[in-house]
Structures are given as structure tokens and as C-alpha cells.
Amino acid sequence: MTSPDSIILHRPLDMHLHLRDGDMLRLVAPHSAATLAGAVIMPNLVPPVTSVEMLAAYRDRILAAAGPDAATFQPLMTLFFQHYTEAQLAAAQPQLFAVKLYPHGVTTNSESGIHSIDAAEPTLKLMEEMGIPLLVHGETTGFVLDREAEFLSIYERLAARFPRLRIVMEHITTAAAVALLDRHENLHATVTGHHLVITLDDVAGGLLQPHLFCKPIAKRPEDRAALLAAALAAHPKLMLGSDSAPHPQHAKECCGCAAGVYTAPLLLPRMAQLFAEHGALDNLQAFVSDNAIRIHGLTPPDKAITLVRQPWTVPAVYQDSTGLKVIPWEAGHELAWRIAP
């Protein structure tokens, strides 16, 4: 049910989520488990998740950290891309959603990423034959504003070379990436909530805003406009993937600021506010759930979340009993929509 002042989202999903591990996992997992029916879990831990044993153990830790909402939260697990054999992929497949490819050194904990797309082709061929999706952090190591644009030709080559491989361009940030969606049947994409709202000017146009710094970095106003238009229209090949990426406060507010925006606690309210502001609330269900379910054939738990037009203030900080502190997106700001009690 949707009205100007409320909406019920059925089986909401986050198709790109970082939960980390240890104390951080225990702090942040309940925020996602409480409001989502499932999420695609990123594997770039230290060390990365590269085996069926590591994948199963990480899933168990996530569900333990999720608390009472674990029964209605489905972690969709991924392996960190490396050269896998058919036997290795077959062993993991019952618990595996996808394999995530990171080019070497492009983002947090990607030092084990691949150096050559050509060398990855044997594993990509196996994934195509076995129906395992490929998720890609699509950036080069070139000039920071051009890194995604420079990678688009690689997406085109992969889409043509492996036409039955379901490829997801992760956290797209440019108008050119949006346009690419319509050129290849097997290309899909996720977009974050914050890239629908901010531009590079918000990050570095005045005083540097470390809690808005992420990779890929926010781009130009015309790029944001293209992303927003596609999301508001619920483009059938576009899915919400928050890239919510928590770091301790001290790792963000320092020299060498870590890349990542922590959006999980306000993800759905902020998207409801955004879509309502543009008169597109009826398309939010497709953007946060239906598109992903159709693209990937998912069967998430039957979970319904009601959001209402009612102001609340985002906490300035989330912290645990150990002193671990994480600053969320929009910290201390008032939002117009909230999750109903």
C-alpha cells in the first residue's frame, strides 16, 4: 500500500552491503537485519572470503550478529574473485550467490584483486556455464574522476565475450554507465543511495567531508541526474545496492581517510524521502526489491517494512560497549520519513 504519507515495502533488499567482521559486524549487522529481507554480502575481509569453508563460517557469524531479526534476513554470500576450478565452484554453489571481482588495488582490501581480465577468463567461462553471477567493482587506477568511464569498455568486452554470464556493474556513478545498461542484455547495475543525492562538490567543494568519501567517488551533477532519473523510473536493470561501508570514526577522521559511507541505519527512510520528493514513491518497491528478485530469481523472506512521513533525527554516532564508534550518513540531520514502530 502506498499513500502520500506511507508506504509498505515488501521484501526489501540491499544488493551490495559491507558488514565487516568482529566487533564491527556485531555493531552494524542488526541495522540491516532489522529492515531488510536480505542483502548481498561483500567478501573483501582480511583475508578475503575465497573458499566454501570461509563463506559458510562468515554466513554463520553474520546470522549470529543479526540477533532476533536473523530469521527474516537472508545473507546472499559472495566469493572474492580468484582463479577457481569447477570443483571449487560446485562445492560452494549451494551457499553461493555470486563471485565479486575487484581489480587490484582499486578499493578497500582489494590488494588480492586481479591484475588481468584476460587471465580471469577461464573462471568467467565456468561461471557462465554454471549460472553464477559476476559482480564487478568497475574502476581502473587512472585519474579518479575517469576510473569508471575507463572501465566501461571492459564491461562491453565481457558482456560480448560471455553473453550468458549475468554481469552486475556495481555502484555505478556516471551517466555513461546508465546508458550502457541498454546496450547489453546481460548487463545490470546497482546504485547506492548516497550517489543519488550527493556530488563531488558535497565531498570536497568546501571543507572536506570525510564521511562522504567513498570509492567510486561521487561525480558531477549531470551524472547524479542520470542516476536519479533511472532510479526514480525504476529502470528494470537497476537495483538498490547501498555499498554501506562502515569504518571506525578514527579511520575516517584522519589523514589517509578510509573510503566508505555508512548508510545502513537510514537507507530505506532516506530512499522513501527521496522518491517522495520527486513524486515517484510508487516506483520505490521495484527499485528496492522487485527488480533484484526478477533479475536474479531470488526468494527472500516474506518481510514487510512500513515507512511513514514522520520526522526523526539520525543519531550522531553509533557505538558499542567496547568504544567502537561509527558515524552514519546524514548524522544529526532530520529526515522526513521513518520506519514505523
Mind listing the pLDDT tens digit for each residue in 61-118? 999 999 999 999 999 999 999 999 999 999 999 999 999 999 887 677 667 777 888 8
The percent of residues above 70 in pLDDT, for the chain, comes to 99
Contacts of 98 (CB under 8 A, 6+ apart): 40, 76, 78, 79, 132, 133, 134, 135, 168
Average pLDDT, integer, range 146-151: 96
**150 vs 115: which has the higher pLDDT:** 150
* Three-class DSSP category at 38: strand
Sheet holding 38-41, edge to edge: 13-17, 38-41, 74-76
Catalytic residue among 118, 243, 290, 302: 243
Predicted confidence at residue 110, as pLDDT, reads: 65
Q: Which residue has the cell 569508471?
A: 148
DSSP label at residue 81: P
Average pLDDT, integer, range 182-197: 98
Predicted confidence at residue 59, as pLDDT, reads: 98
Predicted confidence at residue 111, as pLDDT, reads: 72
As given in the structure block, the three cell numbers for residue 176 are 555513461
Residue 146: active-site member? no
Q: Using an 8 Å Cβ cutoff, are 308 and 5 in contact? A: yes
Contacts of 237 (CB under 8 A, 6+ apart): 181, 182, 187, 188, 189, 291, 295
The percent of residues above 90 in pLDDT, for the chain, comes to 93
Predicted confidence at residue 90, as pLDDT, reads: 98
Report the C-alpha gap between 291 and 238 in whole angstroms: 7
Report the C-alpha gap between 209 and 282 in whole angstroms: 33
Residue 302: pLDDT over 70: yes
* Fold annotation for 12-263: TIM Barrel (3.20.20)
- Chain mean pLDDT for the chain: 96
Average pLDDT, integer, range 286-297: 98
Q: Which residue has the cell 545490470?
A: 188
Mind listing the pLDDT tens digit for each residue in 32-74? 999 999 999 999 999 999 999 999 999 999 999 999 999 999 9
Average pLDDT, integer, range 269-295: 98
Mind listing the pLDDT tens digit for each residue in 306-327? 999 999 999 999 999 999 999 9
Average pLDDT, integer, range 282-286: 98
